[in-house]
Amino acid sequence: MTSIKRAGRITTFGFAVGAGLLIACGAGAAVAAAAPDDSGHTSSSSASTARTAKPASTAATKPKPPRVVSTRSDYSAPVVQLSTKRTAAAVSAAPTASAKTAAPKRVPGLPTPDQALRTITDGLGTVRRNLDDLREKIGTLVQNQILGFQNSLLDLRIDLQRVFSNKPLVYGNPANSQFWVAQGDETAYLMAVAMAINRLTDETVTAASLVAEAMATNSTVREDRKMYLGPTTSDYVWPADAYQLAENHGVKVTTTYYNLNQGRQAFNVLEAALADGKAVIVTISGPTVSVVNPGQQEIDQHPVVLLAIDITNDVVYLNDGALPEGGQKLTMPLDKFIDTWRTSFYSTTTAELAPVTTQTVSPATEAIAA
């Protein structure tokens, strides 16, 4: 179908160019046909050439004797009276003013030069717009082909891992689902951060405690307000505010976004982070439940905690804090997970314990303290 559309656009382009050329030729013929005929009069240059080429036989064309001009002041030159009469032949031979200014006749059925020029201009404008549209569609087609090729390479990579692995290939630990914390969509980032804090530290953070902390902490994104206004409102928590709370609890977070053609690179980061024991938060498009309207479920992009990737069995394990019921140790086919994860440009946040910094005390300070 794409080939038929492409052929149709190319045919339309050829027809438009051919029509423009035909109109241009017709306009040239119209201008030539509308030009005045030279057979009705004789130009002054041709008449002069005829007079110089052929000797005159009448007295009217007899050469005049040279005129002698005297420089004496007391001598009056003879007055010569010139004849102002014109012969009938001379009058009839000279073109009249009306003949010179008469408008050229236009051949019926042919456009005027202005009409032809306007038609050609309109035709070229249409051709240009068609070319721009064709270029845009070709660019989109090429981009989709490249993305499809990249996605196929990611699928091929996973298949090769599955085929050539001599043992079950699992990244992460599904048992980490015990750290599940849930409340609803508006606080999904808070719930993901709470699970990461519980997973990496010795603290026990509940949904209610982290919500209360967000309601009492100034926002890092929105000025003159708190991170969260409370469950009874339609407010929500921004990712940057939730991750700041994680930093306050000694957890370092790093968020990375990728291009749509970087799926393999993003997947490699997931595997490496899970293998290193880091907590991984990814954004997917899936069902969520509203806190303001309990029981109301919709499909939305939201963060989840990725527990494990089981390459051998083609499944991933998730903790979804936006689903108060059924969000713990949620399973999803690997290919479906990649499709829903791709919609967020492979948004990936890795969390780990922040390095402990040791404060160096100078000898002078120790002396003062003593």
Question: Quick one: 200 and 272 in the same domain?
Answer: yes
pLDDT attached to residue 325: 87
**What's the pLDDT score for residue 366?**
52
pTM: 0.57
Residue 74 has a pLDDT of 45
Domain end residue (candidates: 117, 141, 164): 164
**Could you tell me if 209 and 347 are in contact, meaning their C-beta atoms sit under 8 angstroms apart?**
no
- Structural domain of residue 27, as residue ranges? 1-34+105-164
Backbone angles phi, psi at 43, to 5 degrees: -75, 160
Who's near 82: CB < 8 A, 6+ residues apart? none
The predicted structure's pLDDT at residue 128: 83
Query: Considering its fold, how many domains does the chain have in total?
Result: 2
Q: Which two tokens stand for residue 248?
A: 């306050």
Q: Which of 321, 41, 53 is nearest to 177 (CA)?
A: 321
pLDDT averaged per 10 residues, the chain (length 370):
45 52 52 45 39 43 51 47 49 49 64 84 86 75 57 71 72 96 92 96 94 96 94 92 96 93 91 95 90 74 95 94 92 94 94 77 52
In this predicted structure, what is the pLDDT of residue 71?
A: 47
Alpha-carbon distances, residue 7 vs 1, 38, 116, 144 (angstroms): 10, 50, 29, 20
Let me know whether 150 and 223 are in one domain. no
Task: Supply the CATH number for residue 229's domain.
Answer: 3.90.70.10
CA distance 280 to 319: 11
Confirm whether 257 is domain-assigned. yes
Q: Does residue 72 sit within a domain?
A: no
179: nearest Cα among 315, 309, 306: 306
